[in-house]
Amino acid sequence: MVVIGEHRHTQVKIDLQAIKHNINEEMTRKDPLTELWAVVKANGYGHGIIQVAQAAKQAGATGFCVAILDEALALRAAGITEPILVLGITEPEYAPLIAEKNISVAVGSQAWLDQAAPILAANQVRTPLHVHLALDTGMGRIGFQTPAELAVAVKTLSVAGSPFDFEGIFTHFATADQADDTYFTHQLTNWKALIAVVPELPKYVHVSNSATSLWHQACNGNMIRFGVALYGLNPSGTELSAPYHLQPALSLTAELSFVKKLARGKSISYGATYTATEDEWIGTVPIGYADGYERRLQGFHVLVDGQFCEIVGRVCMDQMMVRLPHEVAVGSKVTLVGSDGDNSISLQSVADYCGTIHYEIACGLAPRLPRVYTE
């Protein structure tokens, strides 16, 4: 059982209109014949898989991508009837269930097909299993690596009476978000060499994640896997500017649960790593690393009354302390991600301080934090 902190004034706010805005921007830019599938894996990058999927559908997404079968099943259970592609490798034993639920799966080896075929036959599955062949052009994660092995798989899928529907073929670029396109070009060359052995391309030919579509639009194929940009986050971080405004959908807020005056020489939190050099006002914020607010954020800042306030002492499991500019009332709003007054804190700035990427910060926000949705 997942316990959600409904009775604690700390929450993740998701602006569904921002998600629709980002999709609309991509929809107006892409080729009209190219489909946009919303990537909602990892609980919608921490934003909420079902709510994001519903908003994306309203904005024009015609399909969805997830990482694991359970995410696809959750979408089906929520009434999502559009195509769903599981991007990770799923065990062949689940092939009958996948076919029954009309879900598409990534396949990266002939061995997978060889194992799944008899399982489908034994279960007398009459509905073809939708397959997207994954090609490893340089990501080194999953997929066929040589034209020869790909040709064998394509032949298997083409045999009359095959239990499979050869629905798609795809790859994933490792450096589409970088200014230096040397490795990107290398992968593109590999991609072209691989698909050259496919006599008839399937319904969906896709290579574009958010970064590829933003900065290598000519490679889009006929389907875009619109991921992190869906949530208003630049996949390149700060290296490349997006061709249109990405509107962040997520903010994180709390309220001060306790305020006190700390005398000079007094210390704060585990390890007594912070000691007041003068009398200071200190506020306690009910959020901690168990909520996905990283312990390494000591020394970073939040916003209270529109002013930056330093996080002092170590972030605890469930609480942390900030230095206030003056006495502030208990219950005052604390902005950890988002805007307050003339100042703002982005997921990117949080990630920069942690030495990571904003994907990790967003995905790491724990289920204990309630998600509140607005239009």
Query: Once rounded to an integer, what is the mean pLDDT over residues 3-30?
Result: 97
Structural domain includes residue 21: no
**156 and 291 share a domain?**
no
Are residues 278 and 160 part of one domain?
no
Q: Are 57 and 79 in contact (CB under 8 A)?
A: no
Q: What is the CATH number of the domain that holds 309?
A: 2.40.37.10
Which residues participate in catalysis according to the annotation?
41, 270
Nearest to 103 by CA among 87, 119, 124: 87
Confidence category of residue 115, pLDDT binned at 50, 70, 90: very high
Pairwise CA distance, residues 236 & 228, whole Å: 10
Q: Give the pLDDT confidence score for residue 26 in this predicted structure.
A: 98
* CATH number, domain containing residue 88: 3.20.20.10
Domain count, the chain: 2
Q: pLDDT by residue (tens digit) across 199-218?
A: 999 999 999 999 999 999 99
| Pair 78, 212 in one domain | yes
Q: Is the pLDDT reported for residue 28 higher than 90? A: yes
Note the pTM of the prediction, 2 decimals. 0.96
Same domain, 207 and 292: no
Three-state secondary-structure class, residue 188:
helix
In percent, the amount of the chain with pLDDT more than 70 equals 100
At residue 304, does pLDDT exceed 90? yes
119 close to 99: Cβ distance less than 8 angstroms? no
223 pLDDT band, cuts 50/70/90, is very high
The pLDDT of residue 30: 95
> What pLDDT score does 65 carry?
98
pLDDT at residue number 49: 98
CA distance 193 to 181: 18
Mean pLDDT (whole number) for 293-298: 98
225 lies in the same domain as 266: no
Where does the pLDDT of residue 99 fall: very low under 50, low under 70, confident under 90, or very high at 90 and above? very high
pLDDT class of 73 with cuts at 50, 70, 90:
very high
Residue-level pLDDT at 1: 87
Q: What is the mean pLDDT of residues 247-264?
A: 98
- Spell out the long-range contacts of 122-126 with Cβ–Cβ below 8 A and sequence spacing 24 or more: 123/96, 125/95, 125/96, 125/99, 125/100, 125/163
Q: Domain for residue 22, yes or no?
A: no
| Joined tokens for residue 115 | 């194992």
- By residue range, what is the domain housing residue 210? 31-231
141 is in an annotated binding site: yes
Decide if 317 is inside a domain.
Answer: yes
CA distance 226 to 209: 6
Enter the tokens of residue 265. Answer: 């020489």
Looking at 197, 231, 265, which one is the last position of a domain? 231
Side chain identity, residue 250:
L
For residue 339, being part of any structural domain is answered with yes
Instruction: Please indicate, yes or no, if residue 2 is contained in any of the structural domains.
Output: no
pLDDT at 151: 98
Asked if 207 and 262 sit in the same domain, the reply is no
Instruction: Give the side-chain half-sphere CA count within 13 A for 375.
Output: 5
Residues 281 and 226 in one domain: no
Between strands 63-66 and 35-39, the pairing is parallel
Give the domain-ending residue among 183, 204, 231.
Answer: 231
Q: In this predicted model, what pLDDT tens digit does every residue of 46-66 receive, in sequence order?
A: 999 999 999 999 999 999 999
**Same domain for 186 and 66:** yes
Q: What is the pLDDT of residue 79?
A: 98
Q: Is residue 353 part of a domain?
A: yes
**pLDDT at position 346:** 98
Per-residue pLDDT for 357 more than 90? yes
Section 273-283 average pLDDT: 97
One domain for residues 269 and 151 = no
Residues 182, 284 within the same domain: no
Please check whether residue 16 lies inside any domain of the structure.
no
List the structure tokens of 352: 């920069």
Task: Kindly state the average pLDDT of the residues 57-77.
Answer: 98
For residues 285 and 318, membership in a common domain is answered with: yes
Last residue in a domain, options 199, 231, 263: 231
- Which helix (H) or strand (E) covers residue 308, if one does? strand 307-312
Average pLDDT of span 270-287: 98
User: What does the pLDDT look like over 118-158, one tens digit per residue?
Assistant: 999 999 999 999 999 999 999 999 999 999 999 999 999 99
Mean pLDDT across the stretch 343-363? 98
- Does residue 259 share a domain with residue 202? no
317 is in an annotated binding site: yes
| Residue 13 burial (C-beta neighbours within 10 Å; 0-12, 13-18, 19+) | middle
Q: Judge contact between 64 and 82, C-beta under 8 A.
A: yes
Kindly report the average pLDDT of the chain as a whole number.
Answer: 97
User: Does residue 168 fall inside a structural domain?
Assistant: yes
* 3-class SS of residue 234: coil
pLDDT at residue 108 tops 90 = yes
Beta bridge partners of 107: 133
